[in-house]
Chain A
Amino acid sequence: MERALSDKKLIALFLVPGLTIFLIFYFVPILMTAYYSFQEWDGINPMAFVGLDNYTKMFTADKSFWKAVWNSVAFLLTGVFVQLPLSFGLALLVSRKMKGRKWFRNIYFFPVVMSTTMVSLLWVKIYDPNIGMLNTLLEAAHLGSWAQAWLGDTKTALLSVLIVTTWHYVGYNMLILFAGIQGISEQYYEAAKLDGAVGWKAVRYITLPLLSDVLRICVVLNVIYALKTFESVYVMTNGGPLHSTTMIALKMFQEAFLKQNFGYGSALAVFMVLECLIIAWVLNKVLTREKIEY
């Protein structure tokens, strides 16, 4: 058996199909993106090496780049400070031992499995000034003066998109946190009860500290999802109006495949990857504290 498991031909047979596809269609392209980012290239004529020009352009000349960075920050902050607390609240609710809690959990989670394209198209219609249900509902509630083109106005577009992503993904963190809460032993709560810690006190002194690892995972996930946002803005606003909802990933897509600026598009992609990796690494460092043991 040992000999059979060290047979080079067999090892190759097991590894080659998957590894080849992964290398050609994922790994090598990552390296090529880094290489392209130092070139000026329209995809047809020969490339021209331009050093750091694409990056200089990105940081100094391209105003909508900073708009995209700022929007990413808005997505990130909403993910961590609005969506995550909401998810935590939902997780606490569905963790209570009450009848029908599984139903509620399933309902809250269902939007997560729907595609972002579908959810975004649906909300485009909900926000639509003519046929959308939001304005109709507002009018029914005698708030007709609030009715407007939600996605068409620079003042409301970003907020409207953020509401959609929160609606769509709030169940995701809920589920992860719920799984974490299930892993906390009853004993802690019983011991705390003797010390008079029930209700919010139990949440504050038992649930939260014991969930710190899970919360860290959620924070990192939310941040990375926020920084990578593409589909929702592509479908709902295409970055507009006036770049008010543009994101790095969307800019990369537009620069490369609409304007044929493959070099500049690659530089944007490299920025996005580095941003994700560095922020995830820093967050993991900062948020990892000593393990709490009771």
Chain B
Amino acid sequence: MLKSTKNTGLYLLMGLIAVLQLFPLYWLVVSAFKDNSEIIGGVVWALPTEWRFSNFSEAWVSAKVNQYFFNSVSVTLITLLCVLLFASMMAYALTRMRFKYNGLILFILLMGVMVPIHATLIPLFMILKNLGLLSSRLSIILPYIAVNLPIGVYMLSAFLRSMPKELEEAAFIDGCGVVKSFFKVVLPLLKPPLASVAIFVFLAVWNELLMAATFIQKESLRTLPLGLMNFSGQYSISWGPLAAAMVISTLPILLAYVLFSDQMEKSFTAGAILK
């Protein structure tokens, strides 16, 4: 009897906190279907009287969210592929190959984990300007790769160090060279830590604003966070379409979270402990 009252109390408390965490998001979603008069005059938690999908089409086409979305997707994908490939190659070299400057390279990479990106911004701007990259997508892709490589290398090398070498040795005996055994044997075995790194990089890049705001000079290259920020400045009066744009840009993250929530939690905990 006592136990069940206690449990009900706990459920109430947890439910209340869940409402606190979810209510702003609920408000965002219902606002995305309302017009201003309904948002200002209506009841905050009420469902829209009419589901205005036009807000979404207005955001998607007139506010160019389609373009920002495409930019975010392409920047994220290219960064992701490069980080995964380069980080696993580096991790492989650092854990399996024999050379002198192993420790030095790990130390230099550690600087990348420790020193915040803010400390690179001003010179990076100059470097990108001098390379003539400021009007291209590469102006954020290259820094994004650089920022995310160290954490990838550290996570992957930790995994490789604990992985037995027998399979690679067997591949050598079968006549595979280093390159072939890396792609055929090592990479497939790296799948679990690669998934962690991929989630980490996906979220970091998809959500990044500081570098995007600094290096993206062309309107047509804006990623979602930057595009939405400017959108909110221009259309400060109509909240519905902006809410729709925000819902659209959060959907991929929600989708990823629903599909891979366990993996995501693992990758966040691993990333935290590394820092």
Contact = CB atoms under 8 A, between A and B. Distances in A.
A136 B38 CA distance: 12
A194 interface: no
A231 B243 CA distance: 19
B275 interface: yes
A58 interface: no
Interface in A144-187: 167, 171-172, 175-176, 179
Interface hub of A113, A257, A269 (most chain B Cβ within 10 A):
A113
B152 to A, nearest CB: 9
A36 B122 contact: yes
Nearest to A172: B268
Given A22-B150, A104-B14, A228 B145 contact: no
B147 interface: yes
B120 A26 contact: yes
A284 B225 CA distance: 34
Contacts, number: 258
A107 B16 CA distance: 12
Nearest 5 A-B pairs (CB), nearest first?
A115-B207, A18-B86, A32-B123, A25-B146, A29-B120
Interface of B: 7, 10-11, 13-14, 17-18, 20-22, 24-25, 27-28, 31, 36, 39-40, 44, 82, 85-87, 89-90, 92-93, 96-99, 105, 108-109, 111-112, 114-116, 118-127, 142-143, 145-147, 149-150, 153, 168-169, 172, 177-179, 182, 203, 206-210, 213-214, 224-226, 228-229, 232, 239, 242-243, 246, 249-250, 253-254, 256-257, 261, 264-265, 268-269, 272-273, 275
Interface of A: 1-2, 4-8, 10-11, 13-15, 17-19, 21-30, 32-33, 36, 43, 90, 93-94, 96, 98, 104, 106-118, 121-126, 130-131, 133, 136-137, 140, 167, 171-172, 175-176, 179, 217-218, 220-221, 224, 228, 230-231, 234-235, 249, 252-253, 256-257, 262, 265-266, 269-270, 272-273, 276-277, 280
